[in-house]
Structure 1
Amino acid sequence: MKGKYSLKIAVLSLVLTFASCTDLLDVQPRASIDSVTALTTEDAINAAVNGIYDRLQSTNLYGRDLVAIPEALADNGRATNKSGRLNAEYQNQVNAHFIHWQTSYFAINQANLVLDALPKVEKMTQANKDFVEAQALFIRGLLYFELMRAYAYEPSVELKEVSKGGVPLLKSGVVDATQIKLEGRASINDVYESIYADLNNSIAKFTSANKAASAAFANKTAAQAMLSRVALYRGDYANAAKYATDALAAGSVGRFQARDNYVSAWRSANHPESIFEIQYQTNENIGVNTSLQTTYTTLIASGNRTTTGGFGDLVPTKALLDAYESERDSTGKVIVDVRRSMYELGTAGRGTAEIECTKFLGRSGQVNLDNIPVIRVSEMYLNRAEALARTGNVTGALADLNVIRTRAGLPAAKDLAGAALINEILKQRRLELAFEGHRFFDLKRLGLDISKAAPVQSIGFTDFRMLAPLPVREIQANPNLKQNAGY
């Protein structure tokens, strides 16, 4: 990340979220500052915040898993078994699921420590304090939401007979064993209320006196956009629409791209639609085994089938590709959807050549190095379209739906209402956000089954594998923590 400082605080074993003595804040270049003086200066605070962004780059988080695993668990991605990676997730095997519990709580603890320390820091302007606080609140809310998406049910589809609630809410930083609390799982509603509070407070703290907005860092538009997403999952459609509108109106970061720029936007170092994006420096390349590029494609460049790069572990299913080619004109000819251009034939260097996703194809030609859009402008139109459709505003929903359809090269939808309108919005959501980490979570929040082609078995929404298992070591160490059903 930019502007790195050194900061290292050794933390004793935190029974709930940490295993053994570990580095709480670990930022390059390495050096040590003891825990008493670590967060007492503006430089140390800034270093700590940069350390949280570094956590988000983890393979367990946005480096791969929160982007690729939702496609493998659901019906968008098919494992090729060229390296063996993601094959178990594609088959929905027991325990083959998300594993970001510990990494998320490490980052949450870092955010808590920053928030705890801020009031005591001298020689730091209030505007700078507000900017830091806004970022820490945004990231804490974001990570609690990611924990909820993986380990708990959404409020409107909770299976109360088997649900164990939400996740533990930790709001104070831990630096030694005396501060450890064996928290149980908070209620689903309480966790959502906490996420709402963090994101609303983040929005309030992002002011014109803060630094210029950048998709590389948390920003006001990102907080509004994330609150729209959270509200959609909660079934709070009024706020889902409101905050999508706020994010779209802001215009400070993220620009909706025209059809002619759709492909080139994915070839840019920074996606111009990104409202919040995880960015990597050259020395932070995840590498050939687990980067998104190697996960999705064997290609090192579009159209170059002579040189093999990655493994292409997860490729689009026939059902997804068929969906891109499902509309025809009056002559029966398939209408070209520009989004289909993001899928092309890979190399035979790892085995049978497959049609592969090329949304992540190496930033500026640097193989296996991609910045990761977490929130794009296009999602805001889809969030608002769905929210408006579910609250009876057919005209508004159609307008937003058609922003996405016409940009793709499809004719504007007309005369849709009710279930037909919602189904079309969900279809366009699938096609627009495919291989960006949304599909499994969208099916889950709607209480829908996952349909897979034989020989892989489909799984129903009531199957316990819709939730990830909590780490066994956490269950063993904390009697107040209840494991999800089935594990």
Structure 2
Amino acid sequence: MKKHLSLFFFVLLLTGCQQFLNVQPELQVDQTQAITNASTAEAAVNGLYNRLGNDNYYGSNFPALSYLSGGDVQWTGSQSAPQEITARKLTATNSYVGSAWSAIYSTILQANYLLETVPTLVDPQLTVDRKKQIQGEAYTLRALSYFDLVRSWGGVQLVLKATHTPSDNTGIIRSSVDETYEQVLKDLTAAEPLLGTTTNRNKVTRKTVWALRARYHLYRQEWDQAETYASKLIDDAASYKLAKPYSAFFAGNATATTESVFEIAYTNSFKNGHYNWWLPPALSGRREWAPTDKLVALLNDPNVGGNRKELIAQTSPPGNLWYGKLYCRTPLGTDPAYIIRIAELYLIRAEARARLGKLYTALADLNAIRDRSGVSASQAATKDALLLAIETERQVEFPFEADRWFNLVRTGRVAPVLGITDASKFVLPIPNSEILADKALTQNQGY
């Protein structure tokens, strides 16, 4: 089972290998040989973040599942996997689906091992406070991983213990959607008191937990709590504020700006794979994903996109090809992956307030986003008008991040917006290789 290979991968990571390898279970090793002191614990934490930023997770494939499904990004290349996604003909053997599933579970299993091992370590260089911080980071990233699993596949197997042998953690039946979400909240709740309240845009802190809780409560339609947790970040104006103009958070090789709550950092030796798929050949990419004509029109409309038109560019004649440039910095592949930005917190609070009937303050939050993008203030005067305006704002605010598809599913808008009426297609298929490896794992209906 692919997720059981995580232990072997972890040891490879400690020795500097970052490439996903297919190995046989007999190559698995005991991780108790890997985390034994402060230095190996710190290496393991760095490895956990690398798991999150892997090409198959936030480095490429997982966000692609969202924006290729969401109708605003088209496939222009030769690969069959993204073609299935955009054609809405997903199969259980789709490589994007399989690799994303494996990468997310790999992140979970590494978090599990840290949670098991770090509390037992005895090393004067590993203080009690640092142990708590590491555990808090592991709980938070496990929560994020399960959140991404449940919003993509529905209820999943909850693997909460470290894996030491290939047979560990097999035979676990899928939990329900509610049970999986409950685990997300349980992990975020456990993480919060363990973490400091500092501001760190590349590592998990208590503020990261607050931001993820705002998103969690929005998905669970717990509007009061969504508003409360979003306000914790928005009200911290010394640490978080909207970058202005819009492109200020990514243009000119900007990183870790006040716009960012949590982003993954990349380097020449640990690259973000997005650029390869977005940039045209003239800029050393393959341009197999590109904005649709509809999205180009929205971003170039001064009354909708405003200065968010900086997200796209066009090649010179005779090609005149539109491409996304959120991931196009120098050196190539060093663009951050944006997990959550303060802009999302404004739109979370706007929606929560609209749902609660607080239309005036909801409109103020929406217009804060529009103002920084150079768009005139919305005049939406009813709850329904506000919710539709917020949906459109998300569409042009996060077109190349993991938002559009999940947002439409969450709000029940897939059918009217995309014309997909088969609700079984609102979740992804469980990878066939995983079902073959573990007979306790069942397929989603319709696949």
Instruction: Answer whether TM exceeds 0.5 for this pair.
Output: yes
* Aligned amino acid, residue 144 of structure 1: Y
Aligned length: 429
Please give the per-residue CA displacement for 1:420-453, whole angstroms capped at 9, x wherever unaligned.
111001111111111112111111112222678x
**Higher percent of residues as helix:** 2
SS at match of 1:276: strand
SS at match of 2:333: coil
Question: How far does residue 383 in structure 1 lie from its aligned partner after superposition?
Answer: 0.7
Please give the per-residue CA displacement for 1:34-75, whole angstroms capped at 9, x wherever unaligned.
633433322222121111111112221111112223111111
SS at match of 2:57: helix
Please give the per-residue CA displacement for 1:167-220, whole angstroms capped at 9, x wherever unaligned.
111111111256434111111111111101111222221125xxx532111122
CA contact (8 A) 1:38 1:44 kept: yes
Matched, 1:94 2:69: no
* Aligned amino acid, residue 106 of structure 1: S
Cα distance in structure 2, aligned partners of 1:169 and 1:410? 44
SS at match of 2:394: helix
Matched, 1:314 2:289: yes
Cα distance in structure 1, aligned partners of 2:167 and 2:338? 39
Query: What does 1:139-218 align with in structure 2 at a 5 Å threshold?
Result: 139-152=141-154, 166-177=155-166, 179-207=168-196, 212-218=198-204
Q: Over aligned residues, Cα RMSD in angstroms?
A: 2.6
Distance 1:58 1:450, change over 3 A: farther
SS at match of 1:416: coil
> Which of 270-279 and 393-402 deviates more?
270-279
Cα distance in structure 1, aligned partners of 2:132 and 2:421? 42
Cα distance in structure 1, aligned partners of 2:244 and 2:413? 32
* Aligned amino acid, residue 190 of structure 1: E
Matched, 1:342 2:311: yes
* Aligned amino acid, residue 263 of structure 2: E
Question: How far does residue 21 in structure 1 lie from its aligned partner after superposition?
Answer: 8.2
Question: How far does residue 271 in structure 1 lie from its aligned partner after superposition?
Answer: 4.5
Distance 1:406 1:219, change over 3 A: same
CA contact (8 A) 2:4 2:166 kept: no
Cα distance in structure 2, aligned partners of 1:200 and 1:20? 26
| Match for residue 205 of structure 2 among 219, 225, 235 | 219
CA contact (8 A) 2:227 2:348 kept: yes
Please give the per-residue CA displacement for 1:121-166, whole angstroms capped at 9, x wherever unaligned.
12332111111011001100000011112111xxxxxxxxxxxxx0
Distance 1:20 1:437, change over 3 A: closer
Question: How far does residue 340 in structure 1 lie from its aligned partner after superposition?
Answer: 1.4
Matched, 1:297 2:264: no
Cα distance in structure 1, aligned partners of 2:442 and 2:46? 33
SS at match of 1:315: strand
Cα distance in structure 1, aligned partners of 2:236 and 2:266? 26
Aligned to 2:442: 482
Question: How far does residue 28 in structure 1 lie from its aligned partner after superposition?
Answer: 4.6
SS at match of 2:290: strand
Cα distance in structure 2, aligned partners of 1:18 and 1:29? 19
Distance 1:442 1:413, change over 3 A: same
CA contact (8 A) 2:113 2:162 kept: yes
Cα distance in structure 1, aligned partners of 2:373 and 2:153? 34
CA contact (8 A) 2:314 2:323 kept: yes
Aligned to 1:155: none
Aligned to 2:230: 244
Query: What does 1:353-432 align with in structure 2 at a 5 Å threshold?
Result: 353-362=320-329, 365-432=330-397
CA contact (8 A) 1:213 1:253 kept: yes
Query: What does 1:271-282 align with in structure 2 at a 5 Å threshold?
Result: 271-272=256-257, 273-282=259-268
Cα distance in structure 2, aligned partners of 1:336 and 1:194? 37
Please give the per-residue CA displacement for 1:236-285, whole angstroms capped at 9, x wherever unaligned.
222211111112234575442122xx223212341412211111121123
Query: What does 1:278-289 align with in structure 2 at a 5 Å threshold?
Result: 278-285=264-271
Aligned to 2:111: 111
CA contact (8 A) 1:144 1:195 kept: yes
Cα distance in structure 2, aligned partners of 1:55 and 1:224? 22
SS at match of 2:263: strand
Cα distance in structure 2, aligned partners of 1:101 and 1:16? 9
CA contact (8 A) 2:266 2:335 kept: yes
Please give the per-residue CA displacement for 1:388-431, whole angstroms capped at 9, x wherever unaligned.
10111111101100101111112222352211111001111111
Question: How far does residue 115 in structure 1 lie from its aligned partner after superposition?
Answer: 0.7
Cα distance in structure 2, aligned partners of 1:30 and 1:399? 48
SS at match of 2:335: coil
Distance 1:248 1:222, change over 3 A: same
SS at match of 2:39: helix
Distance 1:258 1:38, change over 3 A: same
CA contact (8 A) 2:234 2:241 kept: no
Runs of 5+ unmatched residues, structure 1? 1-14, 153-165, 300-306, 329-334, 453-457
Cα distance in structure 1, aligned partners of 2:172 and 2:29? 29
Cα distance in structure 1, aligned partners of 2:313 and 2:333? 18
Cα distance in structure 2, aligned partners of 1:198 and 1:341? 37
